[in-house]
Amino acid sequence: MIREFAPGDEKSIAALETECFSSPWSRAAILQSRNNGTAFIVFEENGKVLGYAGLQMVLDEGYVTNIAVTKSARGRGIGKSLVGALISLAKDNGLAFISLEVRESNTPAISLYTKCGFKDFGKRKNFYQNPTEDAVIMTKEF
């Protein structure tokens, strides 16, 4: 089930960050982002957070902060459900578009975003570290 962020979710989100990313956000960074207006949603099953996504909204623009699904739950459509929920959230808030960066080598994620209607809008050179890699900018317009 997908639901909005609840107090205490920052611990589960931080654990997902550590599992999924080479430069993970800390619990403090997650809470700071939330306090600054980032909307977080989580995918929960049997009381356990299996995935999450964040969307920063500025005027009519949306920027995906991160999407993560625990490795043991991948391939079950959780990422697609989270992306769909972000798209609905963006539409409900009257956003003109949502945009994100994804590692150039992350072909499963790029494929998912493409299937969800995102288009390649360019690259950010050396955007990622550990290892250094370009980001593909993907955007879905409404």
DSSP 95: -
Active site residues per annotation: 101, 113
Q: Which residues pair with 55 in a beta bridge?
A: 39, 64
Helix (H) or strand (E) holding 78: helix 78-92
Strands across the sheet with 61-69, in order?
2-4, 39-45, 48-58, 61-69, 97-103, 133-141, 119-128
CA neighbours within 13 Å on the CB side: how many for 82?
A: 30
